[in-house]
A and B are shown apart, each in its own frame.
Chain A
Amino acid sequence: MDFMTIFTIFVLASFVGFEVISKVPPTLHTPLMSGSNAISGITLIGAILSTGTQHTWLTAILGFLAVVLATINAVGGFMVTHRMLEMFKRKD
């Protein structure tokens, strides 16, 4: 893969993002923020690689800190979004 390929992916993904997100109703904007926030925890993947490959102790420590922060972001984000969305479920 070269730079142009991943740049193409970036541009196309932003169009998909704008299309999908503009259909979210205002009522769900807070869960949208916390849910998308959780998705941005995807940095976790990079953190895992730096921690696990342990090329140097420094990169392992940086990676470890990133794993902690990104996991809080991802796990906490998905869970709190779930909690909120359950409240929006119609209770009959």
Chain B
Amino acid sequence: MSPTLVNLAYLVAACLFIIGLKGLSHPRTAVRGNLLGAIGMLIAVVVTLLDKHIISYWLIFAGFIIGSGIGAVYAYKVKMTAMPQLVALYNGFGGAASLLVAGAVLYEAGVLRGTPQEIAVNAEFILSVFASGFIGAITFTGSMIAFAKLQGLTKETAVRYPGDQIVKIALALITIVFAYLMLVYPDSSIPYWFMVIVACVLGVLVTIPIGGADMPVVIALLNSLSGLAAAATGFVLFNTVLIVAGTLVGASGIILSLIMCKAMNRSITDVLFGTFGAVEGGPSDDEVYGGKVKATSPEEVAMLLEGARRVVVVPGYGMAVSQAQHAVRELYDLLEAHGIIMEFGIHPVAGRMPGHMNVLLAEADIPYDRMKEMDEINPGFKQVDVSIIIGANDVVNPVARTDPKSPIAGMPILDVDYSKTVVVIKRSLSPGFAGIPNPLFAADNCLMLFGDAKKMVEEMVKSCKEDFG
């Protein structure tokens, strides 16, 4: 194939990626959009395979078979609750692939000197290789740590030690020294691989201090980085489709990170380098809860629901942990059959990745038009008879509105406390990620249903069946 035809094919692939992502703007067109993206990828791969410099195919196809096998098995078997881990893992693989390709091309550049296929080794080339390796390495190890945390292989809490910022800055400076060595000794690959090792350590250190509710921001950022690593590899190879595709992903991840940060009223630097939950001097648990918390039973909640017209469910990470979404779906069916409107109020940072709750609810066949964004559902809470909070805490803490000194001050929350009755399903009164008590639990209109989310919702369903029947 002539270079023009190849580049035309790459252009088609790049357009398909853009059209495909555009398809994701509505659930109805999203399936087709994703398929268009996959077709774009297929076109780009097939055209590349026709490159006349390729002398052997068996290693490539061996890689295809192994990679598709692993990818397909995981894609098919993964539970929807484990989506954040899977995305973290795949992000990491993308980053690792980019750093390997950049390293290989750097080595080839030395080997091919003086041949017709010579690669122009100039400062732009070296810096592109550096960017690809640096971003790729951070994405790789950062994602592996994120995966280990989400999968429960390591503690999910933030790990901090004195002087951690200085260590990180020092490591970043060392990679810059290696970048300089790469420029001075362009024929050697050694500075590159040392730089990659340092960047791998940096990726670990940047990710371990981040935990819990900050995870969505990290996953989105790593998503962005995996795209930028691919784009940098595009600069190394002078390949336009890599640049366009990588940049699209980079933009997507950055937008999601910013949305998550805004939903927590925090800045990205605060998430990455700041501290959280270390605020002292707030009211203690006893001051907030002392004698004011009312416990309830599934039977009592069922009676409340029987008299309700509008019910809003606010899901949080706790719903994912106890896999309560299918029980919630049963409750939804029952209430809807009874003429009671049930909607879902979803906070942007509920769960461990953007849109996590929506996927779980979609898995349980809840129609997507019942899943409401925070801004959409908040004005209507005064007309809600019963709000049911399942495994969420900080995102419904009214302190964010009332106490400017609180660590979550100014964070947009779901105004469930305005509804007539609030039912909170929770194992105990333990605090959420912010580490502060929630006065909602002690409010006059709030009832606590202590127990496992799935079990409690199932018992509510049982009682509702008896009452409604």
Find out whether the CB atom of B358 lies under 8 angstroms from the CB atom of A27.
yes
Closest to B351 in A: A30
A-B contact count (CB 8 A): 377
- List 9 other contacts, CB 8 Å, given A20-B25, A78-B41: A28-B25, A31-B34, A32-B355, A33-B252, A46-B242, A49-B237, A50-B104, A77-B75, A83-B76
- Nearest CB of chain A from residue B290's CB, rounded to whole Å: 38
**What residues of A have a CB within 8 angstroms of the CB of B234 in the complex?**
6, 10
Task: Out of A29, A66, A73, name the residue touching B355 (CB < 8 Å).
Answer: A29
Find chain B residues with CB under 8 A from A58 CB.
104, 107
Which bucket holds chain B's interface residue count?
Answer: 35 or more
The B contact surface, by secondary structure, is helix
Q: B383 within 8 Å of A by Cβ? A: no
Smallest distance from the beta carbon of B152 to chain A beta carbons, Å? Answer: 19
Number of A residues with CB within 8 Å of any CB on chain B: 81
Check if B8 is an interface residue, CB within 8 A of chain A. no
Residue B185 at the chain A interface, CB threshold 8 Å: no
Q: Which residues in A have their C-beta under 8 angstroms from that of B26?
A: 25
Q: In the complex, what's the smallest C-beta–C-beta distance from A53 to chain B, in angstroms?
A: 5
B327 interface contact, C-beta 8 A: no
Distance between A77 CB and nearest chain B CB, rounded to angstroms: 6
Q: Which A positions have Cβ atoms within 8 angstroms of B?
A: 1, 3, 6-7, 9-10, 13-14, 16-18, 20-56, 58-60, 62-91
Instruction: List, in ascending order, chain A residues with CB within 8 A of B68's CB.
Output: 71-72, 75
Q: How far is A77 from B226 in the complex, measured between Cα atoms in Å?
A: 13
B248 near A43 (CB under 8 angstroms)?
no
Given contacts A27-B358, A76-B74, A85-B31, whether A52 and B54 have CB atoms under 8 Å apart is yes
Residues of chain B within 8 A of A17, CB atoms compared: 21, 247-252
9 smallest CB-CB distances across A and B, nearest first, come from: A71-B67, A17-B251, A76-B71, A67-B63, A29-B355, A52-B54, A79-B75, A29-B354, A30-B355
